[in-house]
Amino acid sequence: MWRVCVFVLALTACAAPPSVERFRDTDVTLAGSTRFEPQAFAGKWVVRAQFDGAVQPKTVSFSYDGAQTRMQTQSQTKSLQWQGPLERFGRMRLKSGAQEMDVVVLWVDEGFRTASIGTPDGSFGWIIDRAARGGADRIKAAGEILAFNGYDVTRLNVTP
């Protein structure tokens, strides 16, 4: 009997960790925005649409001090601080405790009012805006950019 228990324990130890849900086709090239400017992007944003992923804030704030990018996410129940280096075209490698993720600004409108951001692995994607309402044309354009970058926008939850 003990041999069966050892065998079962060995099998469960080799089992793959639970998978993270993906919302984009990772075979599609992910393109960061050439329009990205850290100072113009800084400040508070409202999450207007997102996928059901691990990071689901109501608001997000960005800041940049010349060396590090900081992202603070705020949901109804918790606030998380993320920070890390800023790379070209709005690519950020951010950490919060043991969690780490690459975040890419895919698109931002000319006035830095609306943006599409996501992760290369497709674990999350957001449409963010400076305001909780309005800008329907920009929100639509941000969704089209997510689709262009391989996201399944039929699974996108739009905030009413």
pLDDT at 60 over 50: yes
Tell me if 137 is assigned to some domain: yes
pLDDT at 135 over 90: yes
pLDDT at 61 over 90: yes
How are beta strands 125-129 and 157-158 bridged, if at all? unpaired
Tell me if 108 is assigned to some domain: yes
Tell me if 6 is assigned to some domain: no
Q: Which of 14-18, 69-73, 84-88, 137-141 has the lowest mean pLDDT?
A: 14-18
Please state the domain count of the chain.
1
pLDDT at 14 over 80: no
Evaluate whether 29 touches 148 at the Cβ level (below 8 Å): no
Q: Which of 48-52, 138-142, 145-149 has the lowest mean pLDDT?
A: 48-52
Tell me if 2 is assigned to some domain: no
pLDDT in tens, 79-127: 989 999 999 889 999 999 999 999 999 999 999 999 999 999 999 899 9
pLDDT in tens, 21-58: 899 999 999 989 999 999 999 999 999 999 886 567 89
Report the pLDDT value the prediction gives residue 124, as an integer from 0 to 100.
Answer: 87
**Exposure string for 32-56, b = 16+ CB within 10 A, e = fewer:** bbebbebeebbeebbbbbbbebebe
Please report, for the domain that includes residue 84, its CATH number.
Answer: 2.40.128.20
Residue 44: helix, strand or coil by DSSP? Answer: strand
Domain that holds residue 76: 18-158
Tell me if 86 is assigned to some domain: yes
How are beta strands 91-96 and 69-74 bridged, if at all? unpaired
- The whole-model pTM stands at 0.84
Tell me if 3 is assigned to some domain: no
